Structure formats: C-alpha cells, structure tokens
Amino acid sequence: MTETLSPTTEQVDTREALLDAAESLFSELGIQASSLRAITQRAGANLAAVHYHFGSKEGLVRAVFSRRLKPLNEQRLRLLEACDLTADDAVEQVLNAFLSPLLRMSRETPEGVRDFARLMGRAYMEPSEEVREMLLEEIGEVVRRFTEALGRILSPLPGQELLWRLHFVAGAMGHTVACSHALEKHSHGLCQPSNPDEALRFMIPFLAAGLRAGTTP
C-alpha cells in the first residue's frame, strides 16, 4: 500500500481518489474484473465509500466515464467546427479533430488520463450491454456530427459504404488506444503508441486513405 497523502491539503476528496483508482484499475483489468475492494484499497478509502458517494458500482462506472467524456466531447466539437470541409485535407482535419483530444489528454494529468484512453478503447468492445449503451448515450451526439461531416466530404460515397468505413475507422482507433501497450511490446520499442504525435502521424494517413478509397464495384 503506497498511497501517499499530500501533506498540506491531505486527501481533499475521497470522491476524486475513488474515481482515479477506478479509472486505472478498469483500464488494467477491465470493469468486471475490478472489485470494489481493490478499488477502495488503491484509493485508500473504505469499502462503503463507493456506495456513499456513487450509490453503486454502476454509478461509479458512469461517473468515471462522464468525468472525462464531457470536456473531451466539447473539445472535439470545437475542433470540428474549425475544420475547413472544402479543403484538400478535409478528411485529415476531421479525423484529427476526433482523435487528438483523446490522445492528448495525457497533458493535464501525467498518468491518470492515459489510462482513460485505454479504458475508452476497451469499453467500446465491452460485452456488457449496459456499459455500451451508457457510452453510446454519452458520445452519440458527437458521433452523429462527425458522421455527417465525413459523409459530406466524401459525398458521392453511398451511405452503406460510408457506414462500413466508419465502422473500420472506429475499430482501428479503438484498438490502437486500447492495445497500444501491445504494439509497443510487439515492435520492441520501434513503435511508441504512448506518444500522441507519433500515433496521429501514422493513424490519420492510414484512415484517410481507407476512407477515400475508390468506391467498390
């Protein structure tokens, strides 16, 4: 147990400590496999604190996501509105508007927020219906806006093919943030997915080329 309390303000907020501990544990072990006992222990809090502050484990899960997702989505929409949809690199601009806020979240908090990116990627494939629906409800509006923008840029593309391609884009993005650690290990350090700039530099051209591929016969 290496939890250190800041000397002056000590543990200002048990609530926040629980969210941090849950976020990191969720991203390491998954949501289901993270027990409240492990979470409260890492947070240096009592087991019952979760139910006092969040009502239930599901309430905690919800709070973990919405704490990060609200500012994240605002930033995404802000960047999307700044895109020039008529430019040659419009696709790249839009992809960057969606991706870079998530990948660059690590600026604010040294380690805590990288966890969230991995957690997001994993939650996207979570078998649990509840988690998936909660997530969709939280980012549904953003997805709709980005879908519309890309649909306009690629305008002669049939709707069916657009949806398929966005599905592939979502898969590549989710997998990259969820399993970045695997790529780093498997490439023996040649690839460094923990570097947001490197990840964007490789991911955006790949996805843009796929999105712009000639219509299939």
The site map against a second copy for 180-199 (x = CB under 8 A) is --xx--xx--xx-x------
Whether the CB-CB separation of 95 and 204 falls below 8 Å is answered with: yes
Give the distance from CA 125 to its chain's centroid. 12
Residue type, 26: F
Footprint of a second copy on 107-166 (CB under 8 A): 121-122, 124-128, 132, 159-161, 163-165
Give kind and range of the element (H or E) at residue 132.
Answer: helix 129-153
Q: Which of 87, 92, 21, 82 is nearest to 50 (CA)?
A: 21
DSSP state for residue 83 in the 8-state scheme: -
30/112 with CB nearer a second copy? 30
Using the rule CB under 7 A, give the single segment among 6-14, 66-74, 86-94, 118-126 that binds DNA: 6-14
202 contacts a second copy (rule: CB under 8 A): yes
Whether the CB-CB separation of 14 and 49 falls below 8 Å is answered with: yes
- Residue 176 contact among DNA, a second copy, none, beta carbon within 5 to 8 Å by kind: a second copy
The site map against DNA for 14-43 (x = CB under 7 A) is x-------------------xxxxx-----
53 contacts DNA (rule: CB under 7 A): yes
The site map against a second copy for 77-116 (x = CB under 8 A) is ----------------------------------------
Minimum CB separation of residue 6 from a second copy in Å reads 31
- Residue 121 contact among DNA, a second copy, none, beta carbon within 5 to 8 Å by kind: a second copy
Whether the CB-CB separation of 96 and 204 falls below 8 Å is answered with: yes
CA distances from 52 to 33, 37, 198, 208 (A): 21, 14, 42, 47
Q: Which of 206, 208, 216, 207 is nearest to 87 (CA)?
A: 208
Whether the CB-CB separation of 68 and 135 falls below 8 Å is answered with: no
Residues that bind a second copy (CB under 8 A): 28-30, 32-33, 121-122, 124-128, 132, 159-161, 163-165, 167-176, 178-179, 182-183, 186-187, 190-191, 193, 201-203, 205-214, 216
